[in-house]
Amino acid sequence: MRISLQNIGRRFNRDWIFRGIDFDFEQGHSYAILGPNGSGKSTLVQVIAGSLSPSEGSINHSNKGKNIPAEEIFQHLSFASPYLELVQDFSLDETIDFHFKFKKLLPGFNKQKVVELLGFEKYLHRQIKNYSSGMKQRVKLALAFCSDTPLLLLDEPTANLDTQGSEWYLDLIQQFSKDRLTIICSNQLHEYEFCEERLNVVDYK
């Protein structure tokens, strides 16, 4: 998969959040989108994901040389973020079933393997609303990593995770990011230290 940003800008009312971004993202590589809180990192990630349109410039998504229409981009990406809500009244069992109605599981994976990856066997039938914030973040990450998509978008991936949870996240990166286009939105070095290339939103103010 390849994503090409050409003179991308996004504004809110009359104020530009960022402007003039030219950047290419290539499958098989990892990238970090950096900047302090409020700098526009998450906005840029939403533009990349196709959930927001740029105010100026153009963005092209392609896979194996074929352009991907805007309405089909979601089929090619997995996304995890602390602000992405889970259905609170679902159990973990129902959450996994619901998610994989829209995404394919990685080859060789099934629901049991996802639960084992989480280590949540005894919480399978507990409603998500009764999970801690750290447990919810683990679920979001596991669903994203276990989806068979070429693009992996992670916004503040270790938010609400303790040290053990952060180590678990890094293990997932090693296991499941190979051969994917991985984009990490972060201002925490441990979340993106492995990334080969970095784009700082502050450079485009």
Amino acid symbol at 144 = A
**Could you tell me the CATH number of the domain that includes residue 59?**
3.40.50.300
**Helix then strand then coil, % of the chain, to nearest 5:** 35, 30, 35
The answer, yes or no, to whether residue 70 has pLDDT greater than 90, is no
pLDDT band at 64 (very low <50, low <70, confident <90, very high): confident
pLDDT, tens digit (0-9, with 9 covering 90-100), for 117-135: 999 999 999 999 999 999 9
Q: Is the Cα dihedral 98, 99, 102, 103 positive or negative?
A: negative
Determine the average pLDDT of the residues in 189-200: 96
Could you give the CA distance from residue 143 to residue 105 in angstroms, rounded to a whole number? 9
Nearest to 61 by CA among 1, 6, 9: 1
Q: How confident is the model at residue 15 (pLDDT cuts 50, 70, 90)?
A: very high
> What residues make up the domain containing 63?
2-204
| Total number of domains in the chain | 1
